[in-house]
Structure 1
Amino acid sequence: MAIREHSIYDCILRNALNLSGETALVSGDLRLTFSEIPIHVNCLARGLLNTGFEKGDRIAVLLNNCAEYALLLAACTRIGVVAVCLNTRTSAGEMRMVLESTKPKALLFQTSFEQQAEELRDVFPHHQFYCIDEASILSTSFDQLLDENPAPLTEPQPGVDEGWLIIPTAAVDGVPKGALLSQRNVLASAAVHLHHFGRDAIKGHLLALPIFHVMGLTSAWATFIGGGKNVVLKQFDEKEAVRLIDAEQLTYFASFQPILERVLDSAKETGSVLKSLQVVYGLEGPQNIKRLQEETNAVFWTGFGQAETTSFVTASPASERQGTSGQATLVNSVAIVNELDESVPTGEEGEIVVRGENIFLEYWNMPEATAYAQRNSWHHTGDIGRLDDDGFLWYIKRKAEKELIKTGGENVYPGEVESVLLKHAEIKDCCVIGVPDKTWGEAVKAVCVLKKGSKLSEKEVSDYVGGQIAGFKKPRKVEFVEKLPRENDEVDREAAKAKWGE
């Protein structure tokens, strides 16, 4: 490491010294203090080395939120192993594409995902499977990865600008890209949390979003780096969320629809006013934001970001300028450009481009896609927006070639769903669009033209998609039509939205 670098492992050691007896991590019955964290991290890091891992090797992770997940990521920062954070909601086929690209040495999973692990077994030539629950014919116990020696390692630390995590992004053309993030990216995101929300506001974090999502990932690490307590919610449950917020005096959490609404409903049922809660941030509808601010003392922060930006690049309290995504954060520059990559006048629409220390390193093994996204020293988000006179970002839509549906915090590319639908023997033509949904923000809708004589039902269409790709990508609504509007022999998506977008 260079003299001017400060790593996440350095933060682990600093907190162990300065906050030794304070609680750092709570997961079920497990409670770890800051002084206990490096002991677990050193044992796991040394165990990975003993198993044959070297700097730059990858390990795939198929877990719900748990202490083992957090400790593994911490161990990776010490020895330079790269964690491939699989989205547990995707199908085994989608995971396979990620794994075939990243070629990890081993898979860490839990028994609830044993079927997916079995389907992916052939991707791992040495069949290094580790299960956090128990050993099986398929796997070795996670405990076997732990070395008994908790002493600090002597191997040099990796640099903070080297790869640490791979976050698979939604598949624009049917193939997911792996956004490679560094420690510096996450440290920069932690600085954003600490500066904008305030250290006191993030001293107690409910880890409600999955770690494989950048907002769950960065909010957890921001809390740890700032000396706060992370309380793990293994799977979302609104009643348990309210109980933990009150019992552990938690101060903030990240949210996508419908998380906040369900937490507020549960709090109302139990008579809780969520007294300790100070900040909720993420993407939410105006009605839920209004409820939060009427029913609690918390402030809702909104912003703009994506996996490639390691969470938000703009942020502000939602009430500061309603309808916007906030202003550029402490570590970011944001601009609007036209098709020639020229800056446009204030107030005009164009592509949102950003730069800063939280911008990802590259798309794993995709140099051309990386170069295109990062051309002219800006990360091109594929989103259309405008900046007003005060620098507030107004999000408008995705670029046509990167059309995107955001449903419950997950990204769905219409083209991916359409490619699945068109493989069905009874579907002649289709167009997938996003439609407003009270619960999920947006819902996936498929507008289909059936082949002559077909009697497909809406449920059969939805179930067919759900059997091929992730369940959150299957259409919640299906409409059958005689024909679709076309322009230059391609489906006119905007015309389809106008006619069937409800």
Structure 2
Amino acid sequence: MNLARLISEIAAKYTDKPAIIFEGTTWTYRDFDRQVQHYAVALTHLGIKKGDRVAVQLPKCIEVLFWHFAILSIGAIALPLNPDYRPEEIVYFLTDSSSSLFITTRHLYSKVQSAVQHLSDLQILFNEETTAPQAEEFTEYATGGDDIAMICYTSGTTGRSKGAAISHRNLIANTQALHQAWAWSDRDILLHVLPLFHVHGLNVATLGCLHAGATMIMFEKFEPRRVWETLVSKHCTIFMGVPTIYQRLINEWANLEPKPDLAQMRVFISGSAPLSDQQFYQFEKLTGFRILERYGMTETGMNASNLITPEHRQAKSVGFPLSGVEIRIVNADGHDVDVSQVGEVWIRGANVFQGYWQMPEKTAEAFVDGWFRTGDLGFQDANDNNRLYLVGRAKELIITGGFNVYPKEVENVLESHESVKESAIIGLPDQDFGEKVVAAIALKDGMNISPEILIEHCKGRLASYKCPKQIFFVTELPRNAMGKIQKNILAQQVL
């Protein structure tokens, strides 16, 4: 029950087939497996052993994958880190995890050296100066299914970032469920434009492709026109992105002549942030493809997905539980709500992480009788086989004058206005009502409109208590690396 061993066994079935094509350079499954084994030997020469934490902060490159699966091979624990993290963040992650080895580049290290050089037990390894031993092969996979494979730190928008401890069993179970849900096959060709430090690009896209024996064409950076051209020229069948990526693909479509022939494509998949119904319908109108939206999080991997059959995909819905995943919707007292009522989403299954690294209190708070409290608010549609819809985060729920306001509902109404590109609803303190509904809005290019008109637009479609009491305009909504809107930053801007 070692994920790297599973991938090695799959590689043995597809030895001469291209596994990864990174910026024009091809690695067959045999090449990839050998490199992973060589890098695993290099780690053992450095004294890294089962259970040791190894942090990897690299720009997107093939070595990220060599190191990652090598770390898992020897039973060590991988910490993928964003190259854009600041020195204070890097120190926290390295210290909190008690990492034994930090793999990075000289350029990135120069930015954090003064902050981390006091960590006397930490080895530093520069990727560009590493030569993996070529004469030895690694064959021992010293882990069980419940051993930790990765520690992935949450975004930390409130309080300290928590390290989600994810086991080999978690990763394998989730990959197998996605293989079934998305009908992966060894004939698939995935175009990969996502970061490799995030679970979306690493665990969902990369792992899904390798597990299927498929081929992955990987770009260092996302470029809209190049994506459209490559989907056609390389006969790609699968593409994964975040809503920001899909919006840029939509924007680029108007500049394409002739329009891309996407006859060979199977599915476009979106995640990491909510896809607006405007993006869903516009993409379908332009391309003929309904984007498949799914629901996942760092702690659980993927929980739910729309069906692979296009006619069973719905805007604003994240679909149905994956195989092996159970979902409950509960109220504040922990009791199941009536079907179609909003409540907190609870998850149970082999995909759910082991707990927060060295935070037993936070772990205890996150679980109730084996159910993980996601902090997401949602409801199930009784008229559509309990299809799941998400309406926001529990911490983002606004209670104004005793009434609950779910930000997503108001955002959908605002974004239905022709002048609005995107919006974010936040709750701010109010003396009379406890909280007031406030909207941050980015307008479409060339548009100019008053807050009053947008408020009236809402009043025609929503109960008055749900309508924004204040609107402020921004050029762009602040987002993290995976496209999630950072509402805490907006709140700071307006307070």
TM category, shorter = 0.7 to 0.9
Q: Whole-Å Cα distance in 2 between the matches of residues 159 and 181 of structure 1? A: 13
Q: Call closer, same or farther: CA 1:402–1:46 in 2, change over 3 Å.
A: farther
Deviation at 1:474, TM superposition (A): 8.4
Question: Which of residues 377, 381, 401 in structure 2 aligns to 1:384?
Answer: 377
Aligned match of 1:129? 124
Structure 1 range deviating more: 43-52 or 212-221? 212-221
Deviation at 1:213, TM superposition (A): 1.8
Percent identical among aligned pairs is: 22
Answering whether residue 337 of structure 2 is matched by residue 344 of structure 1, we say yes
Q: Whole-Å Cα distance in 2 between the matches of residues 53 and 291 of structure 1? A: 50
Does the 8 Å CA contact 1:190/1:219 hold for their aligned counterparts?
no
Amino acid at match of 2:137: A
Amino acid at match of 1:192: A
Aligned match of 1:313? 304
Deviation at 1:233, TM superposition (A): 1.9
Q: Whole-Å Cα distance in 1 between the matches of residues 144 and 196 of structure 2? A: 23
Aligned match of 2:221? 235
Q: Whole-Å Cα distance in 1 between the matches of residues 239 and 439 of structure 2? A: 27
Residues 344-493 of structure 1 aligned to structure 2 (within 5 Å): 344-389=337-382, 390-400=385-395, 435-437=440-442, 475=489
Aligned match of 1:54? 49
Q: Whole-Å Cα distance in 2 between the matches of residues 318 and 85 of structure 1? A: 37
Aligned match of 1:186? 171
Q: Whole-Å Cα distance in 2 between the matches of residues 431 and 76 of structure 1? A: 49
Amino acid at match of 2:298: A
Question: Which of residues 153, 156, 163 in structure 1 aligns to 2:148?
Answer: 163
Aligned match of 1:44? 39
Q: Call closer, same or farther: CA 1:475–1:67 in 2, change over 3 Å.
A: same
Aligned match of 1:296? 287
Deviation at 1:310, TM superposition (A): 1.1
Q: Whole-Å Cα distance in 1 between the matches of residues 88 and 487 of structure 2? A: 14
Amino acid at match of 1:21: D
Q: Whole-Å Cα distance in 2 between the matches of residues 310 and 301 of structure 1? A: 16
Residues 141-160 of structure 1 aligned to structure 2 (within 5 Å): 141-143=129-131, 146-153=132-139, 155-160=140-145
Does the 8 Å CA contact 1:96/1:123 hold for their aligned counterparts?
no
Number of equivalent positions: 425
Structure 1 range deviating more: 119-128 or 94-103? 119-128
- TM-score when scaled to structure 2? 0.76
Q: What SS class does the counterpart of residue 222 from structure 2 fall into?
A: coil
Structure 1 range deviating more: 220-229 or 183-192? 183-192
Amino acid at match of 1:357: A
Aligned match of 1:277? 265
Does the 8 Å CA contact 2:425/2:438 hold for their aligned counterparts?
no
Q: Whole-Å Cα distance in 1 between the matches of residues 119 and 74 of structure 2? A: 21
Aligned match of 1:490? none
Deviation at 1:113, TM superposition (A): 2.4
Q: Whole-Å Cα distance in 1 between the matches of residues 81 and 57 of structure 2? A: 6
Q: What SS class does the counterpart of residue 293 from structure 1 fall into?
A: helix
Q: Call closer, same or farther: CA 1:232–1:21 in 2, change over 3 Å.
A: same
Question: Which of residues 66, 85, 93 in structure 2 aligns to 1:90?
Answer: 85
Q: Whole-Å Cα distance in 2 between the matches of residues 108 and 333 of structure 1? A: 37
Does the 8 Å CA contact 1:220/1:230 hold for their aligned counterparts?
yes
Q: What SS class does the counterpart of residue 37 from structure 2 fall into?
A: helix
Aligned match of 1:175? 160
Question: Which of residues 241, 244, 248 in structure 1 aligns to 2:234?
Answer: 248
Amino acid at match of 1:284: L
Amino acid at match of 1:235: K
Q: Whole-Å Cα distance in 2 between the matches of residues 157 and 180 of structure 1? A: 18
Question: Which of residues 2, 12, 27 in structure 1 aligns to 2:7?
Answer: 12
Structure 1 range deviating more: 249-258 or 105-114? 105-114
Question: Which of residues 191, 195, 198 in structure 2 aligns to 1:213?
Answer: 198
Q: Whole-Å Cα distance in 1 between the matches of residues 407 and 79 of structure 2? A: 24
Structure 1 range deviating more: 393-402 or 157-166? 393-402
Q: Whole-Å Cα distance in 2 between the matches of residues 27 and 196 of structure 1? A: 27
Question: Which of residues 16, 23, 32 in structure 1 aligns to 2:18?
Answer: 23
Q: What SS class does the counterpart of residue 299 from structure 2 fall into?
A: helix
Deviation at 1:401, TM superposition (A): 7.3
- TM-score when scaled to structure 1? 0.75
Residues 264-303 of structure 1: CA distance to partner in whole angstroms, max 9, x if unpaired? 4435534333443321222422233223323335441112
Structure 1 range deviating more: 258-267 or 351-360? 258-267
Answering whether residue 184 of structure 2 is matched by residue 199 of structure 1, we say yes
Deviation at 1:377, TM superposition (A): 1.0
Q: What SS class does the counterpart of residue 353 from structure 2 fall into?
A: coil
Deviation at 1:59, TM superposition (A): 1.0
Q: Call closer, same or farther: CA 1:196–1:95 in 2, change over 3 Å.
A: same
Deviation at 1:307, TM superposition (A): 0.7
Amino acid at match of 1:27: F
Q: Whole-Å Cα distance in 1 between the matches of residues 8 and 316 of structure 2? A: 42
Task: List runs of 5+ in structure 1 lacking aligned partners.
Answer: 134-140, 419-429, 440-457, 485-502
Q: What SS class does the counterpart of residue 146 from structure 2 fall into?
A: coil
Q: Call closer, same or farther: CA 1:475–1:256 in 2, change over 3 Å.
A: same
